[in-house]
Structure 1
Amino acid sequence: MASSSSSSSSSNFPCAACKFLRRKCMADCTFAPYFPPEEPQKFFNVHKIFGASNVSKLINEVAPHQRQDAINSLAYEAEARLKDPVYGCVGAISVLQRQVMRLQRELDTIRADLIRYTAGARNEMPAAPTSGSTCFDHNAGNFYYPNSQWNSEPYGGSDGGSL
């Protein structure tokens, strides 16, 4: 009997939005499905950035099957805007893109080191390409330099240059 009274009392808790807005949470509350009482920070962030009225309008304009995704997107953007008011999500994307470019350069360097190591093991020194990054031709088992004059020889020639 105690469990049934606790479950019925838990259903009486207002959603995070109604609690924050200090209003009674009705059975048909627009916010209740998306802002449960145990996630008050989610609504606080969304309200601070977008406002309750705008969020309510958005919920009503979006197709029911897309509402949860829309609210999750708003919550993510709101959190990003609070962390970085100028760039928000775009700032996070930019950081990730720079990280991908840095890792690509590191990968290119490691590939060039592998070419030098492989050529050194054969007592050959690979020549440096004039531009572009190295690629590995899995069919031929050779590295090559895209859009470069060095494509005619597997390791970029043998004129003794360095990468």
Structure 2
Amino acid sequence: QAIVDELFTPYRVFEESQGRTSRPDINPDYFYPKQGLHRLQKIMDEYCAGTGTNYLTNEPTLNRGLELMDVFKEDMAQVAARDRHELLRCWELRDRIWCGEAHMRHILHRKETRWPGYYYRGDFPKIDDENWKVFVNSRYDAATGEWDMSTHPCHTLVP
């Protein structure tokens, strides 16, 4: 029953708060998944080497982005759903936030630029295949809230 209660929390958030304003799409007590997607896109674009920054980022910018992601994860307690479609979108948004955070942590872990086509680190402007032509893996420990980052060799099968 606890899992069901958690899954349907966005319904309850909407039902309990919808009467506070005359317009259901503007409410200080909740936001909709679409509004959350815009917020996530803005964080990823500005702090995680998006098109708005010409794919450029650095360590302080990534750390600030991670701080904003932590705030966003706290705010997810206020995401609301009017119907089952939006309920699905609420949980999709939660998943996208985790993926975005993992992506930021992977970029932060690599001390190099991965260009062309990926991102440019202003604090590490060179491609360093000697040290960084590797796979970066991550593991999140829910008990401690910590991320464990590791690297594994990349073997070229076809030269």
TM-score by length of 2: 0.29
**Structure exhibiting the larger radius of gyration computed from Cα positions:** 1
TM-score by length of 1: 0.28
Larger RCO (alpha carbons 8 Å, 6+ apart): 2
Higher strand share: 2
